[in-house]
A and B are shown apart, each in its own frame.
Chain A
């Protein structure tokens, strides 16, 4: 089975721009979660999608949004980029998003905002 894939792997943007990141979960997985990793804050939960619906949301501003498609692929969007948005964005998938299930992470998209 192919693992979780994320595109692009690296991205450079400038302040004020917007960006869209993509995540393809493991086949059969319906839950997709997004995390932001920064050196100062570690791994922080952004949101979780299940069956095309946002089921949980972390404590991030409205500039961060996402969606999930019928094939479970997910995208996250960050609008009006700020320097502090520079981070590694990780996507993780699991079967149904239950706490008892292992989350499988993708390699991440490293975003640099200049």
Chain B
């Protein structure tokens, strides 16, 4: 059973607009959430994270929102740029555990059109 779900396999957005990528989780033990970005032929790179004690974390154009009651998080990219076109993975873990407990979603492919 998937513990981290990214229900949209793909998303297409116009340059300059907002991109919103969604992620749902089922395990209430998860208390730390991360987003990774992956370009073709490269490994994933860490983008932004959020702890369950917060509901928002911002880093430049990237903001992650966490709704614990709904077990839902989202990544907002504003404004979207063509270079943001990549696959975005949501990941979750129990902060008390080691990295081995990192559970990934299946990813959402974002295409930002000029």
On A, residues with C-beta under 8 Å from B are 4, 31, 33, 35, 40-45, 47-48, 50, 55-58, 90-92, 94, 97-108
A48 & B104 in contact (Cβ 8 Å cutoff) = no
Quick one: CB contact mask for B74-106 with A, threshold 8 Å, 1 for yes? 000000000000000101011111111111111
- Given A42-B105, A43-B104, A45-B103, the answer on whether A103 and B98 have CB atoms closer than 8 Å is no
Residue B42 lies at the interface, judged by CB distance under 8 Å to chain A: yes
B93 & A99 in contact (Cβ 8 Å cutoff) = yes
B93 & A105 in contact (Cβ 8 Å cutoff) = no
Partner of B106, one of A42, A47, A98: A42
Residue B60 lies at the interface, judged by CB distance under 8 Å to chain A: no
Residue B65 lies at the interface, judged by CB distance under 8 Å to chain A: no
Q: Cβ of A48: which chain B residues have Cβ within 8 Å of it?
A: 98-100
A42 & B43 in contact (Cβ 8 Å cutoff) = no
B46 & A99 in contact (Cβ 8 Å cutoff) = no
Query: 30 pairs across A/B with beta carbons < 8 Å?
Result: A33-B102, A35-B104, A40-B106, A42-B104, A42-B106, A43-B44, A43-B107, A44-B104, A45-B100, A47-B100, A48-B99, A56-B98, A57-B100, A90-B43, A90-B44, A92-B43, A94-B99, A98-B99, A99-B99, A100-B95, A102-B46, A103-B46, A103-B99, A105-B43, A105-B44, A105-B45, A106-B43, A107-B41, A107-B43, A108-B43
